[in-house]
Amino acid sequence: MDKRSIVLVLVFAALLVMSCSSQQAPHQEKPMPIKNIMPMNISNLPTVCVKSHCIDVELAITEKQQEEGLMNRTDLPKDSGMLFIFNEEDYHAFWMKNTLIPLDMVWIDAEGRVVYYYKDARPCPKNGTCPAIVPDRKAIYVLEADAGYIDSINLSIGDVMRIRIQ
């Protein structure tokens, strides 16, 4: 990992620890704290969990990683995805340029709550326009998973996504 990635992961860890220690209503699920920070390899991918379902995620932290995202991939392994970690909460727009597989996208705020989602984003036509998908709320994380993920776990606005870096 380069220095910027390490700094962003540490900032991300601090935000999660702070969100875990903040008071929440008793009926709401608390985000899971990060156990420790380690360089990633295929055997220790971070996970994102909601309700009782978890998926392994690749992290998109650097500008280059975020620009590439899941472009040019012909498939996505079951129960996996990509988590984009931004420097600040904002209306982070996405598009499907050069993305070959349909995706579900979930925008998550700094408290780990789902604030917006988009189901079944389709690849852009080769010679057509590629519209942006813009959330109506600010988020600091965006999760991309296979199309159908949102419905398969019955995801709702306000659900808490727990992010764990193993």
82 class by beta-carbon count within 10 Å (0-12 exposed, 13-18 middle, 19+ buried):
buried
pLDDT tens string 121-152: 999 888 778 899 999 999 999 999 999 999 99
Contact (Cβ atoms closer than 8 angstroms) between residue 149 and residue 81: yes
Give the chain's domains with CATH numbers.
3-164 (2.60.120.1140)
Reported residue count of the chain is: 166
> What is the value of pTM for the model shown?
0.73
When pLDDT is averaged across residues 59-86 and rounded to a whole number, the result is 92
